Amino acid sequence: MTEENRSITIDGVEHEFASLSEDQRQVVLHVQRADQKIQEMQELVAILTTGRQAYINDLGKALNGGDGGDEFTDNVTPMETN
């Protein structure tokens, strides 16, 4: 899609990208980049959440003598650090 054909809709009003000022185009590009980063961070949170649960399961099995098929809750109270 060429720049002339692109448009952006804000509050229900469609604006042709080519008609935007350079500053407005930069804002659109910044919003797109922010959206990409938000998506990346959401994917990272999903990965970290899965890893965290695996650690909790391993610790629960080691401490509570699980048989290998148990999934423990994530109700873990962190230790206080001084």
Domain chopping of the chain, boundaries: 22-65
Residue-wise pLDDT tens digits, 16-34: 999 999 999 999 999 999 9
- pTM (whole model) above 0.75: no
* pLDDT (mean) for 49-71: 83
Q: Which two tokens stand for residue 76?
A: 């873990």
Q: Are 59 and 74 in contact (CB under 8 A)?
A: no
Q: 1 vs 19, which has greater pLDDT?
A: 19
Q: State the DSSP code for 28.
A: H
Q: Percent of the chain, pLDDT > 70?
A: 88
* pLDDT (mean) for 34-62: 95
